[in-house]
Amino acid sequence: MKIAIVTETFLPSTDGVVTRLKEAIKYLRNQQHEVVVIAPDLGVYEYEGAIVEGVKTTTLPFYKYRPFSLPNKVVKTLLQKHNPDIVHVVNPALVGVSGVKYAKELNIPLLASYHTHVPKYLDYYKLYAFKPLLWWHFKRLHNQADLNLCTSQAVKDELDEEGFHNVHVWKRGVAVDRYSPDHYSQEMRNRLTGGEPHKKLLVFVGRLAAEKEIHKLKPLLEQRDDVRLAIVGDGPAREQVEKTFEGTTALFTGFLHGDELNQAFASADAFIFPSVTETLGLVILEAMASGLPVIAAKSGPTMEQVEDGRTGLLFENEDTDSLIEAVEKLEDVELMQQLRENARKEAEKFSWTKPSEQLLEYYEQVLGAVKMKQAN
Question: Cα(176)–Cα(171) distance, rounded to whole angstroms?
Answer: 15
Percent of the chain, pLDDT > 70?
Answer: 99
Per the CB < 8 A criterion, the answer to whether 159 and 342 are in contact is no
Domains parsed from the chain with CATH numbers? 2-173+352-375 (3.40.50.2000), 181-347 (3.40.50.2000)
Question: pLDDT band for position 118 (50/70/90)?
Answer: confident
Q: What is the pLDDT of residues 61-103, one digit of tens each?
A: 767 778 999 999 999 999 999 999 999 999 999 999 999 999 9
Question: Cα(212)–Cα(155) distance, rounded to whole angstroms?
Answer: 17
Q: CA nearest 312: which of 323, 296, 334?
A: 296
Region 231-246: what's the mean pLDDT?
96
- CA-derived radius of gyration, the chain: 21
Q: Give, in order, the Cα–Cα distances in Å from 311 to each of 94, 119, 159, 205, 206.
A: 38, 30, 28, 18, 20
Q: Give, in order, the Cα–Cα distances in Å from 188 to each of 55, 137, 214, 358.
A: 39, 45, 22, 37
Residue 137 CA, chain-centre distance (Å), reads: 21
pLDDT value, residue 223: 94
Burial class (CB in 10 A: 0-12, 13-18, 19+), 199: middle
Dihedral of the CA atoms 294, 296, 302, 306 (nearest 10)? 40
Question: Cα(241)–Cα(299) distance, rounded to whole angstroms?
Answer: 22
Question: Cα(233)–Cα(14) distance, rounded to whole angstroms?
Answer: 10
Sheet strands side by side (includes 270-273): 251-254, 227-232, 200-205, 270-273, 294-297, 312-315
Q: What is the pLDDT of residues 7-49, one digit of tens each?
A: 999 999 989 999 999 999 999 999 999 999 999 999 999 999 9
Q: What is the pLDDT of residues 270-282, one digit of tens each?
A: 999 999 999 999 9
Question: Cα(100)–Cα(90) distance, rounded to whole angstroms?
Answer: 10
Question: pLDDT band for position 122 (50/70/90)?
Answer: confident
Do the strands 46-47 and 294-297 form a parallel or antiparallel pair, or are they unpaired? unpaired
